[in-house]
Chain A
Amino acid sequence: MEDYLVGGHVACQGCSASLGLRLALKVLGKDTVVINGSGCMTLLPVYPTTPLRVPWLHLAIENSGAAGTALYYALRRKNIKANILCYAGDGATYDIGLQSLSGAAEKNIDMIYICYNNQSFGNTGHQRASSTPRASYTSTTPVGKVEMAKDMPAIMAAHRIPYVATACPAFPVDFLNKVTRAAEVKGMAFIDLLVPCPVGWGFDPSEGIDIGRLAVRTGMWKLYEITDGRVNLTYIPKKRRRVSEYLRAQARFSHLSDDDIGAIQAEVDREWDELEARGYEYELGI
């Protein structure tokens, strides 16, 4: 299987975001056009070289949704059959790009939007975004973020798009099944991809996949799909790992006391108890 994102670019060592793009393109293939919102991935092509084997358009940070909408119609007029993949960071998606993403979702444009989520404005040095989890250190929340992160998959599902999912490259088969499903679906698909960031989160690059696994196995990042308003979990940890394993492995949570971690554990336990009571599958009721 050929790679449509090759090496030689300047993403950090062990960057899960570039891994996510490499894997997604493997599945989507060469007939794909990528639209990028400003962020870490924008620096993949640097004049005069590019690591991409597919067309790539970057306009600005907040307009991937609008660009995808126009591109759908333009490619149709040009008789070009290609997947449209928007690959933008969580800052560009949850915050500044929410308006144009909402517009594209309302129109149910036939495209795939993957938000590579490092839970911050990563490229500018890990500042807080509405995707940053509660208690995380960022350079603009030095004592820890107070607010919880937005529930972006629910927001996208409220637009009644046919497919919404969460994923993590540490679970590649699950991720790529979801990308395949997203490509098959007629209409907009949104995937929130957790990409652990060694620089921003504070861990050794070699642990990139481990941290992703812990995020999922502690239950702090849930892997699920929302298909036409129906939620189903695609991975249920048999015995959840303690959240302290995940939190203590990252510098961004190093200021948390044992009590803080206890509170987070209680919250995660409560959420999963509720999910279990509902049979891990339920209607969102939209």
Chain B
Amino acid sequence: MITGNGAAAWGARLARAEIIPNFPITPQTAIIEEIASWIASGEMDADFLPMESEHSVISALAAASSAGTRVFSATSSQGLLLMTEMMFVTSGLRLPVILVNVSRGLSAPITLWSDHNDVLVQRDSGWLQMFCSNNQEVLDSVVMGYKIAENSGVLLPMMINLDGFVLSATREPVEIPSHDEIDDFLPAYNPKHTILDPKEPMSMGGAVFGEYMYFRSQQRMAMQNSKSVITDVCAEWEKMTGRGWGRGLVEPYCLDDADRALLICGSESATLKYTVDKLRKDGEKVGMLRLRTMRPFPCEEIVDALSDVEEIGVIDQDISPGSGGIIATEVKACLGRNVTSFIAGLGGRRIGVEKYEKIFGRLGRDVEEWIF
């Protein structure tokens, strides 16, 4: 029985991350504390680098990854945003860094509880983005993340989101694979595309001027490639552990004969699943689609899953003031039809089964409704 933070730390330990720059922020601090104690006791062989800010953490991650080592760190909200400048540098230099984000609503005003604005702000940074719904998925996603990011068709960094407090501090049963199993699944990181070795001197991070657009096109294609890599790696993981997480991109539930469906991501999907089961017992034809990957945005998979569903709603635990719910905006553009946008759970505000039941009765309208 371990917390989400513990599961993230185990993911890094199993993947044999070598360099772990870190900085504390609620609600992620337990991840780095756990790793620190493992390194001190000798259970984990890694270099623990306490940095003086999150910007320095991401800089250290990028520098260590440029030198060809496997890296890991974790952060939340304000820290993630402080990293923003270097997020783009890291993905532009094609460094397969793994960063766990424990989501927390952004200041101001201050909250410590979870919402998704922090991770969604980074959606243009060129990082892959995954949302986990329970602690088992956190551990699995971190380990799989390395295999996906380090794939030569991808070579992009990835952030893995788990919801603050709800997952990060809650104990759930988690199966921890053995080191041997993971060593088979995930070989050591030995890149050729970026190294800092006097025997093979490279100049990295300089100006490209006119060729900028070409390199950006490579990032775009790498992100496209990642879709099939994610699916393949999840299939391999399923063979090994029995857990495939819906082939990696989306996880449909009761959509086969559903006439109404809600799209959601993160740990709230568990409560929504319970609501779907409850309404199904009453004969309601409802279903849900859990969005697991926000980047690359799984447009085709969403279209396929919801093709026969008449009324659709999206739960956004985020808001882009001036535009609307971020996920609803992207889903709408992808589906090309009416989608009711529900803004709920900002700053970790409780949603609950009753509210979900009411929401299922109010789909199919072209509105943005705030659920308090």
Contact = CB atoms under 8 A, between A and B. Distances in A.
Interface of A: 30-33, 35-36, 42-48, 50, 52-60, 62-63, 65-71, 73-78, 80, 82, 99-100, 102-103, 106
Contact of B86 (A30, A59, A75, A77): A59
B53 A45 contact: no
Contacts of A45: 203, 206-207
A259 B273 CA distance: 81
A75 B208 contact: no
Nearest to A102: B52
Interface of B: 18-19, 21, 47, 49, 51-53, 55-57, 59-64, 66-69, 85-86, 89, 195-198, 200-209, 211
B208 A67 contact: no
A44 B198 contact: no
Given A70-B64, A75-B67, A43 B201 contact: no
A121 B206 CA distance: 19
B69 A74 contact: yes
A57 B56 contact: no
10 contacts: A36-B205, A42-B207, A50-B206, A57-B63, A60-B89, A63-B56, A65-B56, A70-B19, A70-B21, A103-B53
A75 B60 CA distance: 13
Contacts, number: 151
Given A60-B59, A66-B60, A102-B52, A82 B198 contact: yes
**A36, A55, A70, A76: which has the most chain B beta carbons within 10 Å?**
A70
A33 B196 contact: yes
Contact of A58 (B60, B64, B204, B211): B204
Contact of A69 (B49, B200, B203, B204): B49
Contacts of B211: 47-48
B69 A66 contact: no
A70 B206 contact: no
Nearest to A31: B198
Contacts of A58: 204-206
A55 B197 contact: yes
Contacts of B207: 42-43, 45-47
Nearest to B86: A60
A69 B67 CA distance: 12
A77 B89 contact: no
B51 A59 contact: no
Contacts of A67: 59-60, 62-63
Contacts of A103: 51-53, 56
Contacts of A102: 52
Contact of B63 (A47, A50, A59, A99): A59
A102 B51 CA distance: 10
B63 A70 contact: yes
Contact of A71 (B51, B64, B86, B202): B64
Contacts of B202: 55-56
B89 A73 contact: no
A50 B198 contact: no
Is chain B's interface secondary structure helix, strand, loop, or mixed overall? mixed
A43 to B, nearest CB: 6
B60 A47 contact: no
Contacts of B55: 62-63, 66, 99-100
Contacts of B21: 66, 69-70
Contacts of A63: 55-56, 59, 86
B56 A54 contact: no
Contact of A47 (B47, B56, B196, B208): B208
Contacts of A48: 211
Given A59-B63, A60-B85, A77 B19 contact: yes
B190 to A, nearest CB: 10
Contacts of A43: 206-207
Contacts of B86: 59-60, 63
Nearest to B60: A70
Given A32-B198, A74-B64, A74-B69, 19 more contacts: A45-B206, A46-B207, A54-B198, A60-B85, A66-B21, A67-B60, A69-B60, A69-B63, A70-B63, A71-B64, A73-B47, A73-B64, A74-B19, A74-B68, A80-B196, A82-B198, A99-B53, A100-B59, A103-B51
A71 B196 contact: yes
Nearest to A58: B205
Nearest to B21: A70
A80 B208 CA distance: 28
Given A47-B208, A73-B19, A103-B56, A56 B64 contact: no
Given A63-B59, A70-B21, A77-B18, A44 B51 contact: no
A76 B68 CA distance: 11
B69 A78 contact: yes
B60 A78 contact: no
B88 to A, nearest CB: 10
B206 A42 contact: yes
Contacts of A47: 206-209, 211
Contact of A30 (B61, B66, B89, B198): B198
A92 B209 CA distance: 22
A144 to B, nearest CB: 32
Given A50-B206, A58-B206, A74 B63 contact: yes
B89 A75 contact: no
A77 B203 contact: no
A66 B63 contact: yes
A66 B68 CA distance: 17
B19 A59 contact: no
